[in-house]
Every structure is written in C-alpha cells, then in structure tokens.
Amino acid sequence: MLGEYDITCQVVSGWEDMNDRISKKGIFLRNRIIKPNIEVRLKSLAFECKVQMRLIGDSSVFIMSRNNGSVFSTSPVVRISKDTSLKGVFIMFGVIDLSTNKFEYKRQVQVPEDLRLQPLDKNYKDLEVVLNDNGDSKIYVSVKSCGKYNPIQEFHTSCDKFLPYFDKSQILIAATGDSVYLNTFSVQQIERNSEKVLERPACCCCTTF
C-alpha cells in the first residue's frame, strides 16, 4: 500500500484564478484541482490527454475523466504517485466514493525504473503521462521520464473495470503531497484504441495488485 493510500478527496472552495501559482517551474498544483476549458467527445471517438509534471518527495497527481466538471461516482480516476518509503512510482486506477470522498482503487501497478539513472539526492521525478480514454470499460495509461534524468522508459498499462460513458466530458487534474508542478497539458481527439496493452514482466520490477 502507498503511504498516502487512504486519501480524502474533498473540495472545500470554489473555482479561482491560478495566476499566483504559475512560475518558471510550472503550475504549483498541490492541494488544488484545475479544470481546463475544454470538452471532449466520447460517442464515436477517444481522447488522449498528455501531461508533463514534476513530483517531489511523497506526492500524487490525479487525472479524472468522464465528468461534467463535477466528479461522478463512476468517473475514472488515474492516480500517479511517487512514494519515497516504497522507493517507487505507482499508477492506481479507481473512482471517488462520493458518500465518503475517499479514493477507491481498482488496480495498482508499480512502474519499472532503473534507479541507477538518477542520483538518490534528486528527490523528484519528471514524468510524461498519457491517458487514453475510449469511453468504454478500459482506460489506457503510459508513463515515461521526460527530464534531465531518465530512469523510467515508456511503460504502458490499462484497467478495464469502468462503466462505459459516451457523453461530452471534461478533464480534471488534481494533486496532493509534498510538491507537484504541472509543466504542460494537451488534449486531442483520436480514433479508439483496440490494441491489447502489453506490460513488462515481473522480473522488470513491475508489481501489480
């Protein structure tokens, strides 16, 4: 389990301007949710969301799709976490239980990485995360390093435990933990993905729960 596993996802204020959180490092996203001014269609197409970020210390980013600006109990939530106690980066798929505001996981995967490629005193991870949503039961995610150090080669995974959704959708991005900077964000409509995702075997330090 992750150190911050039993996390409460509760919105305690209204939407506000983000200008005071923007710097050369990116948008300082800790304990905030951002709602890009964009809608995607899932009736006949899929969408691909690409995010570049820096996770520092123990921190997490949540990417939420299939919502209208407010999260539903069936909205897929992908959590990307850096955990210093477990010395790894993890991908968790789940939903938010609206009665308790708790994140409920459906699948957890540890991302394979070569720790020799980043000094131990550099307590951060620069990541590029790509989420692909067909609108059906499956969500696809890929993660790779994108900064000066590259301990993580491109890793693909998926979860097929979600309810289909074919209406217009918004994308929400949130963060918690020590420090999170969002560097870039892009979305595009694409053809639906019908390929089977192949993950690296367990000998590559990939653990699935």
Residue range 151-178, pLDDT digits in tens:
999 999 999 999 999 889 999 999 999 9
Helices (H) and strands (E) in the chain, counts: 0, 12
Q: Which residues contact 56 (CB under 8 A, 6 or more apart)?
A: 82, 123, 124, 178, 179, 180, 181
Give the rounded percent of residues in the chain with a pLDDT score beyond 90: 57
- pLDDT of 118 strictly over 50: yes
Phi, psi of 21 (to 5 degrees): -115, 10
| Chain segment 131-153, per-residue pLDDT in tens | 999 999 999 999 999 989 999 99
- pLDDT of 64 strictly over 80: yes
Residue 205 has a pLDDT of 46
Q: The pTM is what?
A: 0.83
Q: Is the domain 22-204 a CATH 3.90.1300.10 member?
A: no
Please answer whether residues 63 and 139 qualify as being in contact, where contact means their C-beta atoms are separated by less than 8 angstroms. no
Containing H/E element for 153?
Answer: none
Q: Where along the chain do its domains lie?
A: 22-204
Residue 31 has a pLDDT of 78
